[in-house]
Amino acid sequence: MISVEEATRLVLGTVRPVPTETIALTAATGRVVQAPLYADRDFPPFDRVAMDGIALAYGAVVAGQTDFPIEATQLAGAPPQPLHNPRAAVEIMTGAMLPPGADTVVRYEDIIFHEEAGQRIARVQVPPPAAGHNVHRQAADRQQGDLLLPIGTRLGPAEIAVAATVGAAVVVVARALRVAVVSTGDELVELDQAPLPYQIRRSNAYMVQAALQETGAVGEIFHFNDDQDALRQGLPPLLADFDALVLSGGVSKGQADFLPGVLRELGVEQLFHEVQQRPGKPFWFGQQAGGAVVFALPGNPVSTFVNFYQYVRPWLRQCQQPQATPPQPMALLAATFTFKPRMTHFLPVRLEASPYGHLLAHPQPAGGSGDLASLLQCDGFLRLPAQQEYFPAGDAFPLVRFRDGH
Amino acid sequence: MISVEEATRLVLGTVRPVPTETIALTAATGRVVQAPLYADRDFPPFDRVAMDGIALAYGAVVAGQTDFPIEATQLAGAPPQPLHNPRAAVEIMTGAMLPPGADTVVRYEDIIFHEEAGQRIARVQVPPPAAGHNVHRQAADRQQGDLLLPIGTRLGPAEIAVAATVGAAVVVVARALRVAVVSTGDELVELDQAPLPYQIRRSNAYMVQAALQETGAVGEIFHFNDDQDALRQGLPPLLADFDALVLSGGVSKGQADFLPGVLRELGVEQLFHEVQQRPGKPFWFGQQAGGAVVFALPGNPVSTFVNFYQYVRPWLRQCQQPQATPPQPMALLAATFTFKPRMTHFLPVRLEASPYGHLLAHPQPAGGSGDLASLLQCDGFLRLPAQQEYFPAGDAFPLVRFRDGH
C-alpha cells in the first residue's frame, strides 16, 4: 500500500496537455490561455492625464507664475490641443492625452478660476511638487511588445481586462476537460425514484459533477449496476471519449467489486490500488495507453469527497496549467486531535479566520466515511501526516479546502 | 465625504430579496436555496453495513465462538437475508442492509475462510471490540424530518449530494442577479477596433462582467458616450430591467462627468458621492425607489476593481444570502508600509500561505489607479484603516480577495 504523497505523485505524473480552442473573450472567464498575449501598445499608450484640472508647462510654475489663462478645453477621447503659449494652460479631463507643450497637471481641487476681460484664468493654489505631476506617463506600466499573459495564465477579471485592452476579442485557451462520472452499485436508484427500504438514491455522481463544474471541467453522468458484462460493454466508449473517468464504488474487497478486474481487462494499466489514508483507502488509479485516466474512488461519500479534492482536482488543474505549482494552503488545528493508525488522516474541519491573520481549523469528525451530512458543516480537510499520532492544537497542517472563504 | 465603513453600511442597506425560480438540481451548483430541504428518511435509512465481510450476532463472539458457518450471501442493493441461526453468519457487502438477527460486522481483513464437509466457514481472527462494530446505525447521522439545507444555503458539491439523497430532482433557488454593466467615456473604443492615438479600448466593462460571472451574477454590457441626452434616454430601460447597474467613469469632477446629475434627474436617489478611500474615491451610489441600485464607479481600472470587490460583490452576495455574515478574512502585512492621507487605503497585495498557517500579504503598490497591469501580480487588497499612517510588518488587516488560493 502506497503513501498519499506517492499516490499524488503518480496521479500528477499522468497529467497531459489539453487541446486548444479559440473562443470569445466574453466566454473565457476562468479559462487558461494557450497563446501568449503581448502589449500591442505601451501601457498607457500616451501621456495620460490622471486628474481633471489644467495642463501646463512646469517651467512656468518654477518661474513663480500662479495665474494661467485657459487657451482651450480638452475632453477625454478628443484629439489633443497643443499648448501654444508656455505661460498658458489647457483645461483638461482625466483620460485625455496630455497636450503637446504641457508636462504637468494641476487638479481642480488645487486651483480657483476667475475671469479677466473675458479671459478665463486659473489661479494655482497648491503648486504641483514636480514636473509630470498627475500625468500617467506613456509606457510607465508596460512597453509595447511586453509579454502580458504568458501561456498557462488563468483568465480572471484582471486578465480579461488586460486582454480587452490589447484588443483580444477572441483568445486561444485550453478546452475544458471532459470527465465521465460513473456511479456503480446495485443499491443505488435515480434521484427522482422512491428507494426500496434497502436502497438509496445516487448522490456521489451529482456531488462529483458539481465539484467538476466548480473546477471548470464538464462532467457527464453514467451509471452501471454491479454487473461485469455491463461494465465490459459500457466502459470502452467512455475511455475513448473522455479525458478522465471518475468512478465511485466497486473498488473494495466485496464480491461485487468488479471494477479493478474489468479495468485491467480493458487495457487500463493499474498505477496503484489502495492508499495509506483514512478515509478513502480503497482508491484505484490507472491509465489507458494514449487514452483516459481512471480515478476509481471508493463509494462512501466522504471517501469520494476526500479523494476528489486530494487527487482529481489537482490533476484537472495541472492538465490546464502544467507550469503552475500552486502554494499549499495551511491552517492551524484549533483543538488537539489524536489519530493512531499509521495512515494519513483527512480530518474534516470548519474554518475560521482569526483576527490575527491565521486560518483556524476546527475538527468536525464525521460519523464514519458514510456520514455525508457531516460535510455540510465543513469547509475542507486537514491532511494529518501518517507518521504522527498526536496533533497538538496550534500546529499548522496542509489544508485541502472545498468551500470558499471570501 | 463619508468613510468606507459608512459607505459599506449604506450599500448593504439596499439589499433586497431576489425572486425565486425552480431549476434542475444538475443546474443548481452555486445557487442559493429558497425552500428548505428536509430528510425524507433517516440518514442512513437502515442499519447499513460499513465494511465487506460477515454479519453475525455479537452474543456468539462473547460466548467465545470463533468459527461461523456462512448461511447466505447478501450484496448491496439486494433484499435483506435474515440470519436464521444466531451461531452462523451472513457474508455481506458494504452498503447492504444488516440482516435481521445480526448486529455486528467483521471485515474480510479480520477473518479466514475454510470449508468443512461442503460448508463454508469463517474463522474470526480479530474479534470485534463491541456489538455494532462496522455497522452504520440507522439515523446515526440525521433523523427523518431533520432540516438539512435551510433557506439561504449555497449549493456546493456537498449540498448537491445531500439534495440528491433526499430526492430533490428540482430545487427552489434565488434567481441569479441581473446586472447592466455600463461603460462611459468618449475615449473608449470597442475591443475589436483599432484605437486612435488618443483613444483606448474598453476594458472595465469586460472586467466587471467577468467578476460578476465569478460571483454567480449575470452581466450584460452597454456603452454610452459622454452625452447627457444619450444617458437620459439610455439609462431608464436599464433601471427598469436590471437588479443593479454598475457604471464606470463619468462620476468625477470633469466637465463631461454627467452621470450624477442625470441619475438624479431620472429619480435615482443619491445615497452618497465620494468615499474617504484611495483608490476609488469618486464612487457615487444610489437607488431608484422600487427599482435598481446604481453603483457608479470611477473609471480608472484599479478604482473600478477595488470598488467592485469592496461594495458590489458583498451586495450581490447578501441579496442572495441576507442571513449570511461571512467571516472577514485577514492577512498579515509582509512589509512595513506608510500611507499618510487620512483615507482608507486599498493596498494591492500578492498573497502567500506561510508554513505556519498565516496568510502573508506582500505589498505590490500600483503605479497609480490607472495601472491595470499591476493587478496581474495581485491576489487582493489589504484594507488599511484611515486613522492609521504607519502599518508595521506582521500586523493583520482585513483582506479583500479577488483571486482564489486553493
- Which candidate from B76, B108, B148 shows the least CB-CB separation from A373? B148
- Which pLDDT does position B253 carry in this prediction? 81
Asked if B353 lies within 8 A of A330 by C-beta distance, the reply is yes
Q: Is A158:B402 a contact under the CB 8 Å cutoff?
A: yes
- Which pLDDT does position B263 carry in this prediction? 95
- Which candidate from A25, A352, A374 shows the least CB-CB separation from B141? A374
- Residue B123's H or E segment, with its range, is strand B119-124
Q: Percent of chain A scored above 70 by pLDDT?
A: 100
Residues 222-251 (B) with a CB less than 8 A from some CB of A? 226, 249
What are chain B's domains? 4-18+176-320 (3.40.980.10), 21-40+148-174 (3.90.105.10), 48-136 (2.170.190.11), 330-401 (2.40.340.10)
- Which pLDDT does position B341 carry in this prediction? 95
Q: Which residues contact A300 (CB under 8 A, 6 or more apart)?
A: A279, A368, A369, A370, B50, B94
Asked if A201 lies within 8 A of B29 by C-beta distance, the reply is no
Asked if A136 lies within 8 A of B367 by C-beta distance, the reply is yes
> Whole-number mean pLDDT of chain A?
95
Q: Is A362:A350 a contact under the CB 8 Å cutoff?
A: yes
- How would you label B331-345 residue by residue, b for 16+ Cβ within 10 Å and e otherwise? bbbbeebebeeebbb
Segment A144-165, tens digit of pLDDT: 999 999 999 999 999 999 999 9
What distance in Å separates residue A158's CA from the closest CA in chain B?
6
Within 8 A of A354 by CB-CB distance, chain B residues are 330
Q: Is B133:B147 a contact under the CB 8 Å cutoff?
A: no
- Report the pLDDT averaged over residues A372-377: 94
- How would you label A142-177 residue by residue, b for 16+ Cβ within 10 Å and e otherwise? beeeeebbebebbbbbbbbbbbbbbbbeebbbbbbb
Three-point CA angle A249, A251, A254, nearest 5°? 95
> Count of CB atoms within 10 A of residue B348's CB?
24
Asked if A141 lies within 8 A of B374 by C-beta distance, the reply is yes
CA separation (Å) from B325 to A50, A75, B29? 37, 44, 21
What distance in Å separates residue A19's CA from the closest CA in chain B?
23
Pick among B201, B221, B383 to test the A interface (most A CBs inside 10 A): B201
Pick among B1, B51, B73, B93 to test the A interface (most A CBs inside 10 A): B93
- Which pLDDT does position B142 carry in this prediction? 96
Q: Is B174:A24 a contact under the CB 8 Å cutoff?
A: no
The amino acid that residue A22 corresponds to is: T
Q: Which three cell numbers stand for residue A94?
A: 482625466
Asked if B161 lies within 8 A of A257 by C-beta distance, the reply is no
Within 8 A of B368 by CB-CB distance, chain A residues are 50, 136
Q: Is B301:B183 a contact under the CB 8 Å cutoff?
A: no
The amino acid that residue A197 corresponds to is: P
Q: Is B25:B151 a contact under the CB 8 Å cutoff?
A: no
- Which pLDDT does position B334 carry in this prediction? 97
Asked if A79 lies within 8 A of B378 by C-beta distance, the reply is no
Segment B302-324, tens digit of pLDDT: 999 999 999 999 999 999 998 88
Q: Is B346:B383 a contact under the CB 8 Å cutoff?
A: yes
What distance in Å separates residue A394's CA from the closest CA in chain B?
9
Within 8 A of B355 by CB-CB distance, chain A residues are 330, 396
CA separation (Å) from A238 to A181, A202, A294, B63? 10, 20, 10, 52
Q: Is residue A401 very low, low, confident or very high in pLDDT (cuts 50, 70, 90)?
A: very high
Residues 126-145 (A) with a CB less than 8 A from some CB of B? 136, 140-142
Segment B275-303, tens digit of pLDDT: 999 999 999 999 999 889 999 999 999 99
What distance in Å separates residue A57's CA from the closest CA in chain B?
20
- Which pLDDT does position A406 carry in this prediction? 52
Within 8 A of A148 by CB-CB distance, chain B residues are 373, 376
Q: Give the residue on B whose Cα is nearest the Cα of A368.
A: B136
User: What is the rounded distance in angstroms from the CA atom of residue B150 to the CA atom of residue B38?
Assistant: 9
Rounded to a whole number of angstroms, the distance between the first and last alpha carbons of chain A is 38
**Dihedral, CA of residue B315, residue B318, residue B322 and residue B326, to nearest 10:** -120
Asked if A353 lies within 8 A of B327 by C-beta distance, the reply is yes
| pLDDT of A316 over the 90 cut | yes
Q: Give the residue on B whose Cα is nearest the Cα of A94.
A: B254
What distance in Å separates residue A246's CA from the closest CA in chain B?
15
- Which pLDDT does position A327 carry in this prediction? 80
- Which candidate from B330, B375, B378 shows the least CB-CB separation from A353? B330
- Which candidate from B210, B253, B327 shows the least CB-CB separation from A157? B210
Q: Is B42:B165 a contact under the CB 8 Å cutoff?
A: no
- Which candidate from A109, A165, A300 shows the least CB-CB separation from B372? A165
Minimal CA–CA distance to A180: which of A230, A216, A217?
A217
Asked if A136 lies within 8 A of B214 by C-beta distance, the reply is no
- Residue B264's H or E segment, with its range, is helix B259-265
Within 8 A of B160 by CB-CB distance, chain A residues are 206-207, 209-210
Within 8 A of B210 by CB-CB distance, chain A residues are 29, 155-157, 160-161
> Count of CB atoms within 10 A of residue B27's CB?
12
Asked if B161 lies within 8 A of A204 by C-beta distance, the reply is yes
User: What is the rounded distance in angstroms from the CA atom of residue A238 to the CA atom of residue A245?
Assistant: 7
Asked if A160 lies within 8 A of B207 by C-beta distance, the reply is yes
- Which pLDDT does position A291 carry in this prediction? 87
Q: Is residue A228 very low, low, confident or very high in pLDDT (cuts 50, 70, 90)?
A: very high
What distance in Å separates residue B132's CA from the closest CA in chain A?
13
| pLDDT of A184 over the 60 cut | yes
Asked if B206 lies within 8 A of A52 by C-beta distance, the reply is no
Q: Is B80:B74 a contact under the CB 8 Å cutoff?
A: yes
Three-point CA angle B257, A116, A77, nearest 5°? 25
What distance in Å separates residue A254's CA from the closest CA in chain B?
5
All residue ranges of chain B with pLDDT < 50 are: none
Minimal CA–CA distance to B130: which of B106, B110, B108?
B106
- Which pLDDT does position B405 carry in this prediction? 66
- Which pLDDT does position B255 carry in this prediction? 82
Q: Does A168 touch chain B (CB under 8 A)?
A: yes
Cell 425524507, residue located: B40
Q: Give the residue on A whose Cα is nearest the Cα of B305.
A: A158
Q: Is A148:A27 a contact under the CB 8 Å cutoff?
A: no
Q: Is A23:A175 a contact under the CB 8 Å cutoff?
A: no
| ipTM of the complex, rounded to two decimals | 0.95
Q: Does B370 touch chain A (CB under 8 A)?
A: yes
| pLDDT of A405 over the 70 cut | no
| pLDDT of A307 over the 80 cut | yes
Minimal CA–CA distance to B276: which of B365, B383, B192, B402?
B383
Q: Give the residue on B whose Cα is nearest the Cα of A208.
A: B157
Q: Which residues contact B249 (CB under 8 A, 6 or more apart)?
A: A95, B183, B184, B185, B204, B259, B297, B298, B299
User: What is the rounded distance in angstroms from the CA atom of residue B62 to the CA atom of residue A195?
Assistant: 36
User: What is the rounded distance in angstroms from the CA atom of residue B8 to the CA atom of residue B61?
Assistant: 66
Residues 67-96 (A) with a CB less than 8 A from some CB of B? 73, 75-80, 91, 93-96
Q: Give the residue on A whose Cα is nearest the Cα of B361.
A: A357
What distance in Å separates residue B231's CA from the closest CA in chain A?
17
